[in-house]
Chains A and B, each alone.
Chain A
Amino acid sequence: SAVISQKPSRDICQRGTSLTIQCQVDSQVTMMFWYRQQPGQSLTLIATANQGSEATYESGFVIDKFPISRPNLTFSTLTVSNMSPEDSSIYLCSVTVPPPGYTFGSGTRLTVV
């Protein structure tokens, strides 16, 4: 199955700044997914990133706040823009694997102060 390298693993950022999270997959994949995991909450899908097209955002998430790039079939970035303490969370990228399931990156633990 696919192996995903995600970085940074953690960061502490000032409010109002932006952070870009990178995910590199060891094989070509059509779709990559970005999730947010808040304490005590289930994983929430932010957006689906396809190579060569704009990302598809879920309800409650907008491109201006979470711009996504997908320049090729093995790489994607998620930027958390104009951060506030409410953006403190774990951010995860993932790809689908057979049987129905996901492989996840190791996550980025973001703290906004």
Chain B
Amino acid sequence: TQLLEQSPQFLSIQEGENLTVYCNSSSVFSSLQWYRQEPGEGPVLLVTVVTGGEVKKLKRLTFQFGDARKDSSLHITAAQPGDTGLYLCAGSSGGSYIPTFGRGTSLIVHP
């Protein structure tokens, strides 16, 4: 069974601070996705990374896929209260269309 470990599990910061969330595994993934889930809603896909070393930016969010495609990070610059939510990473490998999900990082950004 492939496992994805996310850290930290909880993060409480002030508006304007920077933060990084990590997603690590001992398995190699062909692609890795990041989702954000707000209370009372389902997860929303933010980005998919497929190439080792790939970096993608989405406004103040920067996503990186590790060179060996075993890990990924999400960096948020100048966090805002609207960034509050549960951030989930999910990895897919081989021909499987069913990803493995991490437990998530719960982020609270205080105004």
Q: Which residues of A contact B (CB under 8 A)?
A: 4, 6, 9, 31, 33, 40-43, 45, 48, 92, 94, 96-97, 99-107, 109
Contact = CB atoms under 8 A, between A and B. Distances in A.
Interface of B: 4, 9, 30-31, 33, 35, 40-45, 48, 50, 88, 90, 92, 97-104
Contacts of A107: 40-42
Q: Which of A41, A42, A45, A103 lies at the interface centre, i.e. has the most chain B CB atoms within 10 A of its CB?
A: A42
Contacts of A41: 103
Sorted nearest first, the 5 A-B pairs with minimum C-beta distance are A104-B42, A42-B101, A43-B101, A101-B45, A99-B48
B98 A45 contact: yes
A97 B45 contact: yes
Contact of B102 (A42, A97, A105): A42
A106 B31 contact: no
Which applies to chain B's interface (DSSP): helix, strand, loop or mixed?
loop
A contact face: mostly helix, strand, loop, or mixed: strand
15 contacts: A40-B9, A40-B103, A41-B103, A42-B88, A42-B100, A42-B104, A43-B101, A45-B98, A99-B50, A102-B45, A102-B99, A103-B45, A104-B42, A106-B41, A106-B42
B40 A106 contact: yes
Contacts of B45: 97, 101-103
Contacts of B100: 42
Contact of A33 (B41, B92, B98): B98
Output the residue of A31, A42, A92, A100 with the most chain B CB within 10 A.
A100
A100 B88 contact: no
A101 B33 contact: yes
A105 B48 contact: no
Nearest to B98: A45
A97 B92 CA distance: 13
